[in-house]
């Protein structure tokens, strides 16, 4: 990975950590907590964990740092921020597991990836899951606007 990609990832991760921490503080003031999956994502973002696992409908899903092409690094580099196609907010990222849980699943003909689509507050979210070399599902995630735009990037 180039130094530019790494520095952009570090910048976006710092911004996401700040936003997630602000959301967490607001919840704590209201004497509320993240749900179990939101807490896992929070711990991953603030670097308490290197990998997180969700179990939803009997399937295991993993979020790993990944690289610029898939995984969490891809999500931040390509889809996190206002200037991105397929943009995601900090709240969207916190609710990633809800998209998996509540979404409609489409399996590829070759059985090499799954797409999960869920609409929330009139915004459609897509999760694409591909299997890593260990056979675990690895996540990428983005939003899709009313024109079907969503797989672009921030450049």
- pLDDT tens figures, 94-145: 999 999 899 998 887 776 788 899 988 888 999 888 877 777 777 788 888 6
As a whole-number percent, the residues of the chain with pLDDT over 90 amount to 41
**Distance of alpha carbon 127 from alpha carbon 20, whole angstroms:** 20
Using an 8 Å Cβ cutoff, are 81 and 87 in contact?
yes
Contact predicate 102/118, CB 8 Å: yes
């Amino acid at each position: 990975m180039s130094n530019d990609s790494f520095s952009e990832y570090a910048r976006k991760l710092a911004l996401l950590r700040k936003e997630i921490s602000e959301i967490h503080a607001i919840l704590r003031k209201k004497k509320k907590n993240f749900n179990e999956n939101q807490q896992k994502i929070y711990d991953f973002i603030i670097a308490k964990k290197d990998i997180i696992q969700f179990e939803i409908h009997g399937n295991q899903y993993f979020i790993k740092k990944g690289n610029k092409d898939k995984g969490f690094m891809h999500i931040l580099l390509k889809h996190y921020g206002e200037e991105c196609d397929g943009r995601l907010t900090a709240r969207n990222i916190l609710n990633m597991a809800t998209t998996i849980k509540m979404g409609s699943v489409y399996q590829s003909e070759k059985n090499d990836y799954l797409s999960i689509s869920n609409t929330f507050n009139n915004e459609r979210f897509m999760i694409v899951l591909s299997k890593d070399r260990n056979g675990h599902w690895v996540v990428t995630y983005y939003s899709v606007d009313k024109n079907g735009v969503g797989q672009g990037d921030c450049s």
